[in-house]
Amino acid sequence: MGKGLDISVVVPLYNERESLPELVAWIDRVACENHLSYEIIMVDDGSRDGSWEEIVRLVSQYPAIKAIRFARNYGKSAALYCGFEAARGEVVFTMDADLQDSPDEIPEMRRMILEDGYDLVSGWKRKRYDPAGKRLPSKFFNMTARIVSGIRLHDFNCGLKAYRKNVVKSIEVYGEMHRYIPILAKHAGFKRIGEKVVHHRERKYGVSKFGMERMVKGYLDLVTVSFMSHFGRSPMYFFGSLGTVMFLVGGFTTVWVIAAKLYKQAHGLPLRAVTDQPLFFVAILSVILGVQLFLAGFLGELINRNSPDRNAYLIDRRLNFDDKTNDRI
């Protein structure tokens, strides 16, 4: 089982002890029925309910299981990042540990990757068994993500996804960016992104680990990933352009206010002191903000210039090179 695995299944988990035996047995059954060599990478995100002890027991029963344990709860993105680093399968799956995702979807999603040519296939829980308080914000979130990213997915946050191996090796998931893996993949050059309607099951054990605060985090992360996708390598294009416009508008407005006062003064017309006009202070503020934004872009360029990854580009194919040549330069 050292090389040539058909699939890797990455399972991030937090306090899911009761569901683990059933989930592992289900994945094993599906893999065996379809003659797939596999590994299950379970990442325990600091569970406190005995999940790790259950994983240790399962490892003795299923040699295909690999396990990673965090010292504390770092979040789903960190768990996925470590799982992706360890994955060796030709097709890599992610799946939540709460049994709401069905392993029976694995064969068809794998076929879509290998035969239909997709880089990433995301699950779409068309019929969900979550409460309305979770479904409605999710629909708004998905609609916003579609508009911002241009990726036509109905369910960005579905835990069940399939990836070509080089996709997960080419993206970095951090913070709360697991919601936006399709956007990260598109930015990395993997634009063949599809979706499959998947069966969503009611939660059998435990409770949901996500509250309403995830909507606030999701919005902020969407702004971050959108900015990084467009201006991550050239922050001056954003900050410098905006700063220059504000500086020019503020500068011309200041000159106009002063020139208007001098004109009225020269012709004996009624006038107000420049400092009595709110427009003058708005113009000065615009100039100051313009300078600050320009400097922010300039500092961003300096930081980017000294980044070790500033010239890290994904190479899709090589011709007549040594096989040991890296796929990223």
Please state, in angstroms and rounded to a whole number, the distance separating the CA atoms of residues 323 and 259.
Answer: 70
How many residues appear in the chain?
A: 329
**Same domain? 171 vs 113:** yes
Q: Which residue has the tokens 């916003």?
A: 144
Same domain (yes/no): 28, 161? yes
Band of residue 151 on the pLDDT scale cut at 50, 70, 90: confident
Kindly state the average pLDDT of the residues 15-27: 94
Taking the C-alpha atoms of residue 78 and residue 322, their distance in angstroms, rounded to an integer, is 34
Which of the residue ranges 48-57, 92-101, 119-128, 133-142 would you say has the lowest mean pLDDT?
A: 133-142
Q: What is the pLDDT of residue 284?
A: 92
Say whether both 226 and 243 belong to one domain: no
Tell me, what amino acid is at 259? Answer: A
SS3 325: coil
Burial code (b: 16+ CB inside 10 Å, e: under 16) for 293-321 equals bbebbeebbeeeeeeeeeeeeeeeeeeee
For the chain, helix (H) and strand (E) counts, in that order, are 10, 7
Nearest Cα neighbor of 71 from 41, 43, 46, 44 is: 46
* Residues 182 and 300 grouped into a single domain: no
Report yes or no on 316 lying in a domain: no
Cross-strand partners of 322:
none
- The answer to whether residue 212 is domain-embedded is yes
**Residue type, position 287, single letter:** V
Section 169-194 average pLDDT:
86
Specify the pairing of strand 38-44 against strand 7-13. parallel
What's the N-to-C CA distance of the chain in angstroms? 30
Residue 248's pLDDT is 94
* Residues 131-137, mean pLDDT to the nearest whole number: 64
- Sequence letter at residue 174: Y
> How many structural domains comprise the chain?
2
pLDDT of residue 2: 44
pLDDT > 70? residue 88: yes
Higher pLDDT, 72 or 215: 72
Q: What gap in Å lies between CA 94 and CA 123, rounded to an integer?
A: 10
CB distance 92 to 84 below 8 Å: yes
* Residue 123: CATH number of its domain: 3.90.550.10
Residue 9's pLDDT is: 97
**Lowest mean pLDDT across 7-16, 246-255, 272-281:** 272-281
Of 3-7, 179-183, 203-207, which range is least confident?
203-207
Name the more confident of 135 and 298: 298
Beta carbons within 8 Å of 44's beta carbon, 6+ residues apart: 13, 14, 51, 52, 55, 67, 68, 69, 70
> What's the confidence (pLDDT) of residue 177?
79
If phi > 0 it is left, if psi is from -120 to 50 it is alpha, else beta; for residue 35 that is: left
In a domain, 160, yes or no: yes
Amino acid type, 314: L
Domain assignment of residue 317, yes or no? no
Indicate if the pLDDT at residue 314 is higher than 70: no
Residues 216 and 242 in one domain: no
Which residue do the tokens 């296939």 mark?
121
125 and 247 together in one domain:
no
Whether 313 maps to a domain, the answer reads no
Question: pLDDT value at position 309?
Answer: 59
pLDDT of residue 311: 47
Range 2-23 average pLDDT:
89
Q: What residue has token string 């479904």?
A: 135
Report phi then psi at 31, rounded to 5. -65, -45
Per mean pLDDT, which range of 136-140, 148-152, 178-182, 255-259 is the poorest? Answer: 136-140
Same domain, 142 and 241: no
**Looking at the structure, do residues 91 and 198 belong to the same domain, yes or no?**
yes
> For the segment 289-313, what is each residue's pLDDT rounded down to a tens digit?
999 999 988 888 787 666 655 545 4
Give the model's pLDDT for residue 4: 78
Query: In the numeric block, which tokens belong to residue 202?
Result: 């009611």
pTM of the predicted model as reported, rounded to 2 decimal places? 0.72
Domain extent at residue 270: 235-305
